[in-house]
Amino acid sequence: MSRPEILFPLFAGLETLEGVGEKTAKAFGALGVERPKDLLFLLPHSGVDRSRKASLRDVVPPVTATVEVEVGLHMPPRQKGRPYRIMVRDAALEFQLVFFHARGEYLQKLLPTGQRRLVSGKVEIFDGVAQMVHPDHVLRPEEAGDLPAFEPVYPLVAGVTQKQVTKAAAGALMRAPDLPEWIDGPLKAREAWPDWRAAVETVHAPSSQADLAFTHPARQRLAYDEFFAHQLTLSLARASLRRGKGVASRGTGLLQKKVLQSLPYAPTKAQARAVAEIAKDMAEPLRMNRLLQGDVGAGKTLVAFMALLVAVEAGGQGVMMAPTEILARQHHEGLRPLAEAAGVRLELLTGRDKGNDRAAKLTDLREGRVQILVGTHAVFQKDVQFQDLRLAVVDEQHRFGVSQRMELGAKGQAADVLVMTATPIPRSLALASYGDMDVSVLDEKPAGRKPIRTALISSARMDEVVGHLARAVAEGRQAYWVCPLVEESELVDYASAEERFASLRAILGDVVGLVHGQMPPAEKDAAMARFVAGDTKVLVATTVIEVGVNVPNASIMVIERAEIFGLAQLHQLRGRVGRGSAESTCLLLYQAPLSETGERRLKVIRDTEDGFRIAEEDLAMRGAGDLIGTAQSGLPRFRMADMERQAGLMAVAQTDARKLLNDDPDLTSPRGKAARLLLWLLDQDRAIKLISVG
């Protein structure tokens, strides 16, 4: 499928625009501008009032003003490095134009004495005299019409000036064609959104600050276009995954029943609901692509195992993949008693498996004797073959984007895919990152999970905290002590892990262990193992422990300098305790005085254990990219839309995109064809490939 002709002018080289040379075109790259169409989506972030005033008497400096003046005396500098001054007079006031490093003959030409000019720039009072330093605009009276009353201000990078961006954007606008409408008619009417071209023209020609607000209909429309294109891409990915003929896996319920009978308590309603949703998807001949989202300790592992059993009951195999070896081992440990109860064979495969052991496991896997495999990305390797893989469960920690999900599907076997995430994500973000998936949410804590008491304590009371810890250890309890940084730095007075370890050891003796990021992996594993075994009672750690470690006997979590951690991090760390039968406590040590946001963050953590509420707060406080660590999250970068403020539009876009594809899977209707233009316009190449394949 090739690019539609109507868009050719917008996809030409930047140098084809007036005033853009090779050097400028290169500099534009840093703004994400490579083609004229990119300029259409480079929105002004503010504006300057350039409306004409009769005299500077009518304004209060410092302010940007525009007046017509008569040019008076030129006063070149007497010594090098001094400014060049020109006296000018408006209708009621005499003032100076000031230039640094300017050539005299250039200024004589620009502002000839005795002639009238329109000047616009920042006016300031200096030694009681009004001055305009380096006016932004100097025009002849007959050119006054070229200066808009309200001038848009664009984002800039080195090598590009406001004038160049403004001119280039105007050139790109002249090439913008009238395009057919891709937005659903009733929606567009209800929101009173303009047509696409009118919207683009409006955002580049604001007449006041109000036109720059994200609530302005033209901006809303363009943001919606962006969300809609993104959701169309995700929906096409979802459709192509689902179109991939899946295998219907119908469970008998026999193995699941054995596991449920072996459990000390019944699953929560949320767990039962999620298992039912997953089993229903697996029974269909379409490929499942589902996200299982649950808070720390909501019992995702049980749900995932039940899903794996559906695959085994249906005569197939299942695989569970973890991002790290330590987590893969933990899943394996955690699932072993469940597998024994069900009477199924469970094996672990990691990079450590070598030689005959590995070969034997692979043979058993290929011949179907291993029913459930737990592993790291090692299961992607060529020599790993299943007899009949029905379900892949991916424990994802965000390191597994849409492209990897597609790659997993390409492992031949049309396996159903279940992705687990322990990071509660607000709905708008979940739609942006996982819009190609159906979602099951675990929103209750399993029976037997006790609430965790969380307290804020100033680090001035450190001695009390250590005393409390000594008593707890004497009673046989275990604790984590999390430190912010490893090395002592003169600039930052964070207690380093090494130092905290030494001081706690002096008080509590050799029951204190240490684990941090600079240790060799084998040492780290050994330190963790001693803590799991209970030989170490207090584990001093940097945040290496936030991912997935499970020590049911640990019931105290001390987080030092809690105010410098993010909300999601604090929530994940706290989730490391409260896993056993003991009452658990989380102590957030902070250094006074707290900043306003620091205090707000710590109070949110203290007042709620609901990960979804914490995530919503986090999104409000930090913004989307930060929340998921944009670099590795695969979170789309939106140019016109604002994830936080326009989140509501994302949900509408998803429903709309799914409905359009449902009614017109090949996008051949008039609206479907218009939507194809949108995908081209917004560089959704992946979607375009999917349509042309489909």
- Residue 402 has a pLDDT of 56
Kindly tell me the number of DSSP H helices and DSSP E strands found in the chain: 25, 22
Which of the following CATH numbers is that of domain 254-442: 3.40.50.300, 3.30.70.380, 3.40.50.10420, 2.60.40.10? 3.40.50.300
Q: Which residues contact 287 (CB under 8 A, 6 or more apart)?
A: 241, 242, 244, 245, 246, 409, 414, 415, 416, 417
Using CB atoms within 10 Å of the CB of residue 348, give its burial: 0 to 12 exposed, 13 to 18 middle, 19+ buried: buried
- Residue 545 has a pLDDT of 61
- Residue 626 has a pLDDT of 42
Specify the 3-state DSSP secondary structure of 456: strand
CATH of span 452-608: 3.40.50.300
Which phi-psi region, left, alpha or beta, contains residue 638 (left: φ > 0; alpha: ψ -120 to 50)? Answer: beta
- Residue 615 has a pLDDT of 75
254-442 and 61-147 share a CATH fold: no
User: Cα torsion at 564, 566, 572, 578 (round to 10°)?
Assistant: 50
Residue 627: its H or E element: helix 624-628
- Residue 317 has a pLDDT of 93
By DSSP bridging, strand 63-75 and strand 52-53 are parallel
- Counting as low any pLDDT under 70, the low residues of the chain are 1, 241-245, 296-297, 396-413, 423-424, 426-429, 432-433, 435-436, 446-448, 485-495, 543-549, 619-637, 644, 692-694
Closest CA to 407 of 395, 417, 398: 417
What is the CATH T-level fold of the domain 61-147, as seen in this structure? OB fold (Dihydrolipoamide Acetyltransferase, E2P) (2.40.50)
Specify the 3-state DSSP secondary structure of 118: strand
CA 482-483-484 angle, 5° bins: 125
Domain ranges for the chain: 5-46+167-213, 61-147, 254-442, 452-608
Closest CA to 111 of 74, 83, 66, 163: 74
513, 473 contact by CB (below 8 A): no
Calpha distance 141→118 (Å, rounded): 6
430, 439 contact by CB (below 8 A): yes
